[in-house]
Structure 1
C-alpha cells in the first residue's frame, strides 16, 4: 500500500513529456526532417544548446531548448536535420 501511494505521489510530481512531429512557432511550423537552418530561421536563437555526443565522444548533433509560455520545447538536431521534437510541460 505504501509503495502505491509513493508511486502515485511521484507520478503526480513528474514532468509530462509529449513527443511530436511538428511544433508551431508563431505562424510557421517546424517538422521532423527540416534542416537546422530552417529551424533557426523560424524559431530564432535557442535559450539553451547542448551537444549530443556519439558513443565514441564525437559530435553527433545538438539538443536545442526553447522556453515558450511556461513550457519547454526540446528539439534534437542530428546530422543537420530535426530528428525529434519534445514538449515538456510543468
Structure 2
C-alpha cells in the first residue's frame, strides 16, 4: 500500500464514523476535493503532488472526527501529525 492509500484509509476510517449520511458525504466531497485541488496546484508549481494530496486530505480531519470546527487548525494539525506518525511512512525533514 502506498502512502496516499494509507492516508485515505485513515481518513475513510474517520469519515465512516460519522452517523449522519449527509454529513459523511460532505466530508468525503470536501476532503477528497481539497486533496485533488492541492495536487493540481502542486503540479502547476512543480511541487510534490503526493505531499500536497496528503495535506489536502488531512486539512480538516479534526472537524470531521469530532464534528466540532472550533480551533480546527491547531487541533487538526495535531491530529494529522499523530496519524502520519502512526503510519510510519512520512518522515520529517
**TM-score normalised by structure 1 residue count:** 0.25
**TM-score normalised by structure 2 residue count:** 0.25
Structure with greater Cα Rg: 1
Identify the structure with the greater helix proportion: 2
